[in-house]
Amino acid sequence: MVAQSISERSHVAEDFAQRLKNAEDPRAAQTVRLAVEAICDIIAKLQPTRAELQQVIAFLTAVGEACHDTRHEWVLLCDVLGITSEVEAHLAPTDEGLTPPTLTGPFYRPDAAFRKDGESISLDGRGVPLEVVAHVHDIDGTPIEGAVIEVWQANGDGLYENQDPDAQPEFNLRGRYRVPASGRASIRTVRPAGYRVPDDGPVGALMKLLGLGLDRPAHIHFRISAPGHRTLTTHVFDRTDPCIADDPLLAVRPELLADFTETGDGGLQTEFRFVLAANRTHDIQS
């Protein structure tokens, strides 16, 4: 038997929408109305039991209870369901050739120190040396002099410095660089490792229940800002990582894959071209 649509079997969504006519915030009213309509459609299709509803309520309660000053389980839930990546995709400019944006992630810190061109952000010197040659241009290929590159990453054990304060110096593997007139900046760091998203909470339990992977492929985060251009927040991924096709945060794009090549002295190098969009009056600023 084919489940009836919600409009044929229930007036809940329609009645709820009627009650929102006097809402003070039309945008909030539209959001909640659409959410209620979608939930009613799901109910019509799945016809859940009361016990299943209680399971959903218990899960959402557990997500809230898992949040504290250093843990953001609701953010993690949005990330692993692809909601964060979908919002970023809708906010991104659509011009062909621009570098795709990605989610910021929970480990960003806005106050990392400025480094000289070619200076390393590895404060403890641990790991396989890696030089990232970043080319920063606009859509026409013009170098963006003065752009600020913020970079942060996990170490060779897959840990960010603010996860691992007893073993890593503060602000390890974080830094800011100013792009010279050539548009080419040299960032020295170490090869990052992938890591596992938290699996000890309700979101991790849900991922396991759904048979979804929890291991993120190795990557480096970048945030690049410049006057007259939209701020770009993105990842650069190690193309050879075995988890590259199964990123639980759904952030991998073909345009964000990079090759880490040997330099002959025990180190690695990768080059990446970041293409920023120009600001427009109708843009939503990031």
Q: Where are the domains of the chain?
A: 1-47, 97-196+208-276
- Name beta bridge partners: 135: 184, 273
3-state helix, strand, coil in the chain (%, to 5): 25, 25, 50
Architecture (CATH level 2) of domain 97-196+208-276: Sandwich (2.60)
Contact 194, 216 (CB under 8 A): yes
Choose among 130, 154, 152, 142: nearest CA to 226: 142
- The reported pLDDT for the residue numbered 106 is 86
Q: Pairing state of beta strands 257-258 and 232-238?
A: parallel
Q: Give the pLDDT score at 69.
A: 82
Q: What's at 67, amino acid-wise?
A: C
What is the reported pTM?
Answer: 0.88
What pLDDT, on a 0 to 100 scale, did the predictor assign at position 8?
53
Distance CA 148, CA 178 (A): 5
Cα 152–Cα 157–Cα 160 angle in degrees, nearest 5: 30
Q: What's the average pLDDT block by block, 10 residues per block, for the chain (286 residues)?
A: 51 92 94 94 94 97 92 93 92 88 92 97 97 97 98 96 92 98 98 94 96 96 97 97 95 96 95 93 46
